[in-house]
Structure 1
Amino acid sequence: MHKQSNISGHAAPLRIANFDTDQVMPKQFLRGIDKSGLTEGLFYDLRFDENGKAKPDFFLNQAAYASTDVLIAGPNYGCGSSREHAVWGMQQFGFKAVIASSFAEIFYSNAMGNGLLLVVLPEDEVQALMKEADDNSAPISIDIDIKNLTVHTQKHEFKFTMSARHHRMFLEGLDVIGLTLKYQSQINAFSQQHWKAQPWVKDIARVTTDRLNSLR
């Protein structure tokens, strides 16, 4: 994770509701054991035909949309299975944010935890951004002010919200583990109080292992 207080980029619409994670990253691209090499799989069935040839009518295959790094999506984006590869693939392809009126809960958690910004706006505002992009016939310039929670384009300005936890994670460049470690002193204090009240549970796994080893 790196600190993000602002995302300036270019946005284009994907007008498909309930776009699930198998469409974002099909199952045949989930065979790797790390996060690498997922760019090819992103939106594969939309980008390529059955012979693996790029479909010229899909917007991301067109030169005019090469700068797209913000997706304006239909409602319930990221539904389906919980595969985190869908998020990693979007990031590897170059996407910095997705704007939609709703997201599947697990996809939302995966994305925000990995630094892919998801912006929730009312559906009429999402449609307004899509129309602006359609009228432009190319990606529209967009500025997402994460610190002040606003979305700006040439024609529109919208406010959005996010949890205080996710807001802090983006502004300070923290993943879930990093955020947890911010509370290290409180965690240590709790542990000491817990062990003082119940000393028999301290290092119980090590104590049990030592006892078992002594019986061999």
Structure 2
Amino acid sequence: MLALSPEILLRAYAMGIFPMAESREAMEVRWVTAERRGILPIDGFHISRSLMRHMKRLRPRVTVNTAFDAVVRACADRPETWINPAIFAAYRGLHQMGHAHSLEVWEGETLAGGVYGVALGGAFFGESMFSAQVNGSKMALAFLMHRLRAGGFRLFDTQFLTDHLASLGAVEVPRRVYETRLSEALPLPASFHPMGYPADPQPEILQPPSASG
């Protein structure tokens, strides 16, 4: 088994491979390359009317990279998880290198939801998201997709396609198609911190589609 280091993780992602543990107690990590891959079209992501109403009413506070460990722990806090101590440590290393990012949604001082993943070139590899409050993960994903569009990302990898992701617009593509899109995205100079990105992107995100032309 390959050692799970940040450097090896980046090489694996560039080849379309990602790690998973069988459980939080598992001592080993397996490397996965799925025959069919889940992706969420960045340019095709739209916020539902019900979610927009919820966000307008709530107006949550949004941060990035301020609670990375808390987001990963919350993602792992479920009956079955693939996040074991080795994976947690490796992604913390990627975070310290500037490749792994978290986005947090707050209701007051409470972490309502979040998402974390890995940025490499113009590809973002979504690892996991969670909800501690109603629509927490959906709000986190909406803010993340807006940031990725602004930053010039072209591929959002969800690894697998779940019913929840499918309801948000994710689709499944054959591995060969995924590998082509990955190879096209990796050389792009995308940024998770795009120049001029607003501290509060909600006015842009929550405006009706017709208002943007």
Higher helix share: 1
TM-score by length of 2: 0.27
Q: Which has more strand, going by share of residues?
A: 2
